[in-house]
Amino acid sequence: MTVKPLKRNYIGLGTSPHDPSLAIVDSRGQLVFAEDTERYLQNKRAWCSPPDDFIRIAKLLKEYCEPDAEFVIASSWRSAFFKRLQFFSFGPFKGLIKRKIGAENYDMLRCIASYANVRHGINTEAHLQRVFGRRPVIRREYEHHLTHSAAACYSSPYAEAVSVVIDGLGESTSCKMFHFRNGGHLPISRKPSEGSFGQFYSFLCELCGFDPIGGEEWKVMGLAPYGGKNDRYYGLLRSLLRIDGLRIREGRHSAAAVRQLLELRRRPDQPAIEFADLAYTGQLVFSEYVDELLSHVHALNLSDNLVLSGGCALNSAYVGQLAGKGPFKNSFVFCAPADNGNSVGAAWLAYHQDHPQAWTPRTQVQSPYLGSRLSTDMLDKLLRYGGLEPIKTGGGPELYTQVAEELSKGRIVAWVQGRAEFGPRALGNRSILADPRRRDVKELINAKVKFREEFRPFAPSILAEHGDEYFENYRDTPYMERALRFRPEQAARVPGVVHVDGTGRLQSVKRELNEKYYELIKAFHGLTGVPILLNTSFNVMGKPIAHSVEDAIAIFLTSGIDLLVLDNYIFKKRALGALADVDAAAGRSPSTEDLSRTPQAAVA
């Protein structure tokens, strides 16, 4: 009798101290689940939280793995890295290390090293064997930057590419490059970079008065277009790093420049807008650094396709500049290019290690809708006990038409459908939506829904077939991974989603990737002639995107959102909505005839 070999399912763990995540790849190599730990914890970035806590991992594996599959647990980071951290933090040289890096940094180091202790204490294998019977559980680990590259390359449309990982740090370097070919990663250079573009940007974030630990680099990007180049800042920031071929080195006078820059640091009582020049100049210097490095990589003549990953690939302003500029003809960024994507990379690396011949170039873009569904049980309870009297629609055109009409009347809509998006951006399944034709919409959502800084822009979701009509150098941008410049004649039609520099961090929406969201925008287009909706993540400042029915209701009831759409149910507030209030106060019908009102008038 022959014994049928067990199928294997691959459990990827992103085990960085920040942005941990879990992913599952099935026995055919399909990515069937991926989610940030922060979502279910509702704790931004989930610092030092294990992605494989016992109760959650067993539940997820029961739901998403194939029955009777054996498990391969694959994690990002070599454990030697964490052991080194533990040695530095708790070993015989801890006093010396503390003096060298300063008390504040040392506390952070100890915190991360303690997380490493927790990680080593978690015996996921034994737990899964207990829950699922005596199935073997295999453990593998992969180098951090390789998992970045794998997540990006295996989800990209390219048969071959140059893969550049630009990060804060890794086991031994901040930056790594691979030639991706035939499903394998060939390292391009093994020399480590001691300088770091990721740390450069975190430092810039700190100088501007924001918190890189909280992941507030977004704010620098949002603030930069309000400023201009400052020659003094430029000189200091340029002297922090230098590019030496394929390596990032520290600048020869970087210590003196750091000291001078720290004197410029924004104090809590200073308005952010006064630091727009610093943000602008920093973003400019960052772009020049990356340009220089990429030009050296491209000069190797390996490929015209660029796959960019690592935390710096979240810089959508820079990624947008790559379109139509070169030196690479094509560029790709995954929906989760930072450390949360490493669970996906680790799971895919483990799969391809077992199936070296299985790789074929992808024919369709990887869906980002990989996370949890809403609990139907909790939705039933809400309908039964909530006393909110929602409108039940039959879904389909009935739902799209009703919601599109409300949007066109100026209502702010929270739109929750299907599986959550993987990565930091809401892509039409956990989104707050509004009419982009309203000039006042940005100020209103910032003030009454997101409770965040007025300088931060909102993104446009556009039907992909209209992309070229609205944007210069248009490229399909399914994950909101790049900001492109609006064509000037079209920008005036959608002022609510045009940033001060004329750009928008767009999402190209195609039916094959998200039918419901596509049909909703199409219904809005049919009513208004505009194929765009304002799309921002369904959260409030400082919190992760809503994960459960309870999160959705809490945000709905404690913010200026007018409508909440959960699946096919529309929950409405009795009072007119935030935008509609303004119309009512002015004695007008809540429509969009007046598209030119000032933000001040709108929020008064």
Q: What residues line the site for Fe ion (CB under 5 A)?
A: 167, 339
User: Nearest distance from residue 311's CB to Fe ion, in Å?
Assistant: 6
User: Nearest distance from residue 148's CB to Fe ion, in Å?
Assistant: 6
Task: List Cβ neighbours of 182 (8 Å cut-off, separation of 6 or more).
Answer: 160, 359
Task: List Cβ neighbours of 596 (8 Å cut-off, separation of 6 or more).
Answer: 439
Is 151 or 276 the residue whose CB approaches Fe ion more closely?
A: 151
Confirm if 401 and 585 have CB atoms less than 8 A apart. no
Is 36 or 339 the residue whose CB approaches Fe ion more closely?
A: 339
Is 9 or 173 the residue whose CB approaches Fe ion more closely?
A: 173
The whole-angstrom separation of Cα 4 and Cα 407 is 56
Is 143 or 562 the residue whose CB approaches Fe ion more closely?
A: 143
Cα Rg of the chain, angstroms: 24
User: Nearest distance from residue 217's CB to Fe ion, in Å?
Assistant: 13
User: Nearest distance from residue 4's CB to Fe ion, in Å?
Assistant: 39
Q: How many CA atoms lie within 13 A of 175 on its CB side?
A: 27
User: Whose CB is nearest to Fe ion?
Assistant: 167
Is 176 or 411 the residue whose CB approaches Fe ion more closely?
A: 176
Identify the CA nearest to 143 among candidates 110, 120, 165.
Answer: 165
Residue written as tokens 């029915």? 549
Tallying the residues shown for the chain, one arrives at 604
User: Nearest distance from residue 583's CB to Fe ion, in Å?
Assistant: 47
User: Nearest distance from residue 167's CB to Fe ion, in Å?
Assistant: 4
Is 339 or 583 the residue whose CB approaches Fe ion more closely?
A: 339
Helix or strand holding residue 348 (H, E) = helix 342-354
Is 169 or 383 the residue whose CB approaches Fe ion more closely?
A: 169
Provide the 3-class DSSP secondary structure of residue 157.
Answer: coil
Q: Count CB-CB contacts under 10 A for residue 18.
A: 23
Identify the CA nearest to 505 among candidates 426, 592, 440.
Answer: 426
Task: List Cβ neighbours of 64 (8 Å cut-off, separation of 6 or more).
Answer: 24, 32, 33
User: Nearest distance from residue 77's CB to Fe ion, in Å?
Assistant: 9
The whole-angstrom separation of Cα 102 and Cα 107 is 9
Is 18 or 516 the residue whose CB approaches Fe ion more closely?
A: 18
Task: List Cβ neighbours of 254 (8 Å cut-off, separation of 6 or more).
Answer: 239, 240, 241
Is 314 or 497 the residue whose CB approaches Fe ion more closely?
A: 314
Is 143 or 406 the residue whose CB approaches Fe ion more closely?
A: 143
User: Nearest distance from residue 227's CB to Fe ion, in Å?
Assistant: 28
User: Nearest distance from residue 211's CB to Fe ion, in Å?
Assistant: 18
Q: How far is CA 266 from CA 214, 222, 275, in A?
A: 17, 16, 7
What strands, in cross-sheet order, belong to the sheet with 413-416?
391-392, 569-572, 563-566, 413-416, 430-434, 532-537, 459-463, 507-509
The whole-angstrom separation of Cα 93 and Cα 85 is 12
**Where in 337-469 does DSSP place strands (E)?**
391-392, 413-416, 430-434, 459-463
Is 167 or 481 the residue whose CB approaches Fe ion more closely?
A: 167
User: Nearest distance from residue 166's CB to Fe ion, in Å?
Assistant: 9
Q: How many CA atoms lie within 13 A of 553 on its CB side?
A: 15
User: Nearest distance from residue 291's CB to Fe ion, in Å?
Assistant: 21
